[in-house]
Structure 1
Amino acid sequence: MPTRLAEIVEEFAAAPREVVLEMLLEFSDEIPPLPAEFPDRAGMEQVPECQTAFFLRARVNPDRTVTTWFDCPPEAPTTRAFAGILADGLADASAEQVLAVPDDLYQRMGLAQAISPLRVRGGNAILARLKRQVREQIT
């Protein structure tokens, strides 16, 4: 797992339960706007497991680092926060590091005790689709 993502996981896991949701929402602003290459989300994959319209795209660059893009409405701060955690934690990560992220990432962070199981399921689906896109590009 990339160092930055491991740090984020540790911060959440060590935080008191009453602070976890507040910490989570801070990540909802970490998603940069989509570049012009994705007009109307063209070329992005929708994650239907999310309760809100959520789209993502991962690209493995020639140096094997992964670039990610996420799109989610501001009215869905928890879902945006999942993407913000990945955007921050996976910045400059290699394809191998992305694929090594544990599938139970959000549970390890202690989010299963702070938010609904449906939201955790959506976060897991975001990670799974991201990893699948990376895997498809390196095989």
Structure 2
Amino acid sequence: MPEMPTKLAEIVDEFATAPRDVVLEMLLEYADVIPALPAELTDRAGMEQVPECQSPLFLRAEVAPDRTVTAWFDCPPEAATTRAFAGILAEGLTGASVEQVLAVPDDLYQRLGLTQVVSPLRVRGGTAVLTRLKRQVREQTG
């Protein structure tokens, strides 16, 4: 059975072992790691909005011929926690295979310890981001 990508597993471990009082600070450090969108996505064409998020978040997963996944996210800078979760996914899934992305546990938010530091609405939004990302990957790979 495939495991989640090594980089994402390392991020999960860092969060899981961190003192609770620094988890939110750690999360917010990821708000600025979302890569810039490629030119063809700057108007959000071809991106899917995640309406479960309190802030506008758009995403697109692309599966390359070698079955590696690239995830693109667009979220306003003022939506720090939403951007940060997208940043964790962007960083943690870089270079991941289809199988690794699909192996990311659906309870990723809980494994990161974020359910203790963010509102249930944000947890719901973050979970929806991962669900939609995985769905896009499945749709592209049959």
TM-score over 0.5 for the pair: yes
* Cα separation, 2, equivalents of 1:37 and 1:2: 27
| Equivalent residue in structure 1 for 2:60, among 39, 51, 57 | 57
Which residue does the alignment assign to 2:116?
Answer: 113
Which residue does the alignment assign to 2:25?
Answer: 22
Map 1:4-43 onto structure 2 (within 5 A).
4-43=7-46
* Cα separation, 2, equivalents of 1:113 and 1:52: 20
TM-score, structure 1 normalization: 0.99
More moved, 21-30 vs 31-40 = 31-40
- 1:124 equivalent to 2:127? Answer yes
Q: Provide Cα deviations, 1:1-58, integer angstroms capped at 9, x if missing partner.
A: 0000000001001111110000000000010111111131010000000001100000
Q: Which amino acid aligns with 2:83?
A: R
TM-score, structure 2 normalization: 0.96
Q: Which runs of 5+ in 1 are unaligned?
A: none
* Cα separation, 2, equivalents of 1:109 and 1:68: 19
Q: Which amino acid aligns with 2:17?
A: A
* Cα separation, 2, equivalents of 1:87 and 1:39: 17
* Cα separation, 1, equivalents of 2:64 and 2:139: 13
Q: Which amino acid aligns with 1:80?
A: R
Matched residues, number: 139
* Cα separation, 2, equivalents of 1:13 and 1:118: 21
Which residue does the alignment assign to 2:97?
Answer: 94
* Cα separation, 2, equivalents of 1:38 and 1:30: 17
* Cα separation, 2, equivalents of 1:16 and 1:117: 20
| Equivalent residue in structure 2 for 1:103, among 103, 106, 121 | 106
Q: Which runs of 5+ in 2 are unaligned?
A: none
Q: Which amino acid aligns with 2:77?
A: P
Q: Which amino acid aligns with 1:97?
A: Q
Q: Which runs of 4+ in 1 moved over 6 A?
A: none
- 1:82 equivalent to 2:107? Answer no
